[in-house]
Structure 1
């Protein structure tokens, strides 16, 4: 039995990963979209891991003394059926998707 209070509902592309115990809700283009429940704990752990890696990647790239300091970074990501975080790169079609955008801004 699933504890619905400890899960988040997501609509995911059924083409990316098999979605256990779900049925396709509708088609979007060439692939089906399915509803799945993802554990809040798993989502939080994956999000924390991704953010830590992004912070590490951007550390030292720009400092306040630079002529053109890096002041803001915007990262868009989507969530897979298993709760994994996938950062969307250049050229990925994102219009009409329900991705998340994180904005990191230097104080």
Structure 2
């Protein structure tokens, strides 16, 4: 499990390494282009959290084990991040793609 830390005082969010590997690529690409967007992550127990990702807000990725990049998944995530609803990884298409048969999950630390 990896961790995504957003903002100065936010508790780290635990995220599957495979998902976090793909999220890092998408987020860094979008922020490098100076494109802010919403990111929705599942926190467990049916609860999700939406973060407004912007280059001015501190962001850290801690990945225990890098996963191979699935290019079609990255394209789908980039398209979603560019949409009005932003990137919502609670959507089933991302749960199946990034996690195989596993369910994706992120939990507050």
Higher relative contact order (CA 8 A, sep 6+): 2
TM-based fold match above 0.5:
no
More helix by share: 2
So what's the TM-score if we normalise by structure 1? 0.27
Q: Which has the larger radius of gyration?
A: 1
More strand by share: 1
So what's the TM-score if we normalise by structure 2? 0.26
